[in-house]
Structure 1
Amino acid sequence: MPILDDLKLQYKLGGIVQKLIFWNVGAFILSLVFFYQFKTGRFVYPNWLALYSFFDVFIAKPWTLVSYMFLHGGFLHLLFNMLVLHFSGRLFTTFFTERQLFGLYVLGGIFSGVIFVLIYSLLGISSVLVGASGAIMGILIATAVYSPYMIVRLALIGNVKLWHIAAVLLIMDLLQLPIDNSGGHLAHLAGAFFGFLYVKMLQRGIDLSMPISKLQDSLVNLSKPKKKTPFKKVHKNQYSQKTQSSFKKDINQKKIDDILDKISQSGYDSLTKEEKEFLFKAGK
């Protein structure tokens, strides 16, 4: 299917922001199948996926500190979060690496979840938390703290400073905290604080996302197959075959480089059908 092939190619070529969006959208589609109740018109997530506020429930299922941030309570919830993730992620990677962005996303979400559980457990309030908002706020606020006077152009509004956007979102969360969805707004504020803390520590030479990066490396190394010593077979025209193979690889690599240059200049949609098919086959 051409659409499926395009999605696979965009996933392979896209950065960590695009992959996070794919993961969240994929989790939402699965949630519609397994956890959406059409009679009530809402999602009912089990306590082994969503983050429940009671400490005894949470302590028995600590992995929910990660799983909850890939679940959403509705389409608009998902849409708004993914738009802000796309916006803030592109700004963040202007100054920092994609590995740092992923580390901040995970740690910001975990920190937001811990604050939610601690405060709600102390208050004795039963509630459930889902959504990537806390993790995304961490990315946005970290960027705003690092470059507050960065000019951003918004549709229908015009040019504004990045700190203005961050300030408006924080004020909205503070105003709505005692009114509606208090747990969600609490998670937003906790994520924002972690984003602030992350940049301040980074400016002192401490990268809080480093443990996540090391964990990524360990998982990648585990998934790699062990290299086996290849069986060597001598051919009379070995040099000729090697030369032809190298020549063919050079041509293919040049074609791949030309296509990637075209994507960087005009976008993925500017590719022809043949170029998309060639790039997809080359990525296998």
Structure 2
Amino acid sequence: MGIIDDLKMQYKMGGIAVQVIFWNLLCFLISLVFFYQFQLGIFNYPNWVALSSEPSVLVTKPWTLISYAFFHYGFGHLFFNMMVLHFFSTLFLTFFNTKQFLGLYLLSAFFSGLAFVIAYYFLNLSSAMVGASGAIMAILVATTTYRPLMNVRLLLIGNVKLWHITAVILVLDFMQFRIANTGGHIAHLAGAFFGFIFIKLLQNGIDLSRILNNPFKKSKRAPFKKVHKNYPKSAPKPSSRIVVKDKTQQQIDEILDKISQSGYDSLTQEEKEFLFKAGK
């Protein structure tokens, strides 16, 4: 019970990125029980779990545009993807909230899967796909689009710009496009494109993550609406609240500038805790 309790605590306290990693781990355990062929040493996913490139199969099983992004072909595939997801999600959540993270993960998985099916249809190829790589690429490119000059510290290399890392990964995908795992590289590039579009739309006031958060529900907040109200003499003036908010925002901006110049690891523990509380 100690290990189970510890896992439950990590799931609750770890945030949305850790929860997504837990979902992937759970799906992998399920696949070991039901879809792993021990005699052959391979996973054999049915077409109601993996994403088939056949449009006729997709029409009858549309949920596979999401389900495929939580299953993997092996422990190495899972381990690498989850390590990369944890690293990139830390960068993304420095600037954006948990709903935007989850929305980007699911929507980019959907878009990447759809791009895979369409591309294989025109290439006259047939295959199936699982893996979170497309969604992970979307998270990386989204963060890079928003803060391309952000410094990231890499082991044995030191500080590099975030856009350098992204550029190298994209070039490798283009170089290996027709060599091996064509479907995977299509998903990577589609996810990268979606991550770019997601941020550009967000900068123009369109948050695609709202699609998964009741898009028909009217916002309780009325932005940019100025209201004049008379306050009794005994009531505290609202100006003090505005000052506090301005100071908080100023401190957030200073921390974000520090991240863009020196990387997330340059923050003090107090700055990290402040940024974490401010993002809630």
TM-score, normalised relative to structure 2: 0.76
TM-superposed CA distance for 1:124, in Å, is: 2.1
Q: Which amino acid aligns with 2:167?
A: A
Distance 1:160 1:214 in 2: 39
- Give the corresponding residue for 1:33: 33
Distance 1:63 1:135 in 2: 16
Q: Secondary structure at the match of 2:172?
A: helix
TM-superposed CA distance for 1:39, in Å, is: 1.7
TM-superposed CA distance for 1:157, in Å, is: 1.4
Distance 1:189 1:165 in 2: 15
Distance 2:96 2:72 in 1: 27
Distance 2:150 2:83 in 1: 19
Distance 1:12 1:146 in 2: 28
Distance 1:117 1:192 in 2: 17
Q: Deviations over 1:164-199 (max 9, x none)?
A: 111111111111111000000110000000000001
Q: Deviations over 1:62-85 (max 9, x none)?
A: 000010000101111111110111
- Give the corresponding residue for 2:188: 188
Q: Which amino acid aligns with 2:128?
A: V
1:162 pairs with 2:162: yes
Q: Which amino acid aligns with 1:2?
A: G
Superposition pairs for residues 1-284 of structure 1, below 5 Å?
1-214=1-214
Distance 1:165 1:127 in 2: 30
What do you get for the CA RMSD once the two structures are aligned?
A: 1.3
Q: Which amino acid aligns with 1:134?
A: G
Structure having the larger proportion of residues in helix: 1
Distance 1:187 1:51 in 2: 12
Distance 1:182 1:208 in 2: 28
- Give the corresponding residue for 1:258: none
- Give the corresponding residue for 2:234: none
Distance 1:101 1:214 in 2: 16
Distance 1:213 1:152 in 2: 32
Hey, which bits of structure 1, 4+ residues long, moved more than 4 A? none
Distance 2:142 2:213 in 1: 18
* Number of corresponding residues: 218
Distance 1:176 1:79 in 2: 21
Q: Deviations over 1:35-69 (max 9, x none)?
A: 01112211100001100001001111000001000
TM-superposed CA distance for 1:8, in Å, is: 0.5
TM-superposed CA distance for 1:214, in Å, is: 2.3
Distance 1:116 1:160 in 2: 32
Q: Secondary structure at the match of 1:149?
A: coil
Distance 1:38 1:143 in 2: 40
TM-score, normalised relative to structure 1: 0.75
Distance 1:77 1:168 in 2: 20
Q: Deviations over 1:104-147 (max 9, x none)?
A: 00000000000000111222211111000001100010000100
Distance 2:83 2:53 in 1: 27
Distance 1:131 1:214 in 2: 27
TM-superposed CA distance for 1:210, in Å, is: 0.8
Larger Rg: 1 or 2? 1
Q: Which amino acid aligns with 1:209?
A: S
Q: Secondary structure at the match of 1:49?
A: coil
Q: Which amino acid aligns with 1:12?
A: K
Distance 2:98 2:165 in 1: 22
**Identity score, percent:** 60
Q: Secondary structure at the match of 1:209?
A: helix
Distance 2:121 2:62 in 1: 15
Distance 2:32 2:128 in 1: 18
Distance 1:123 1:167 in 2: 26
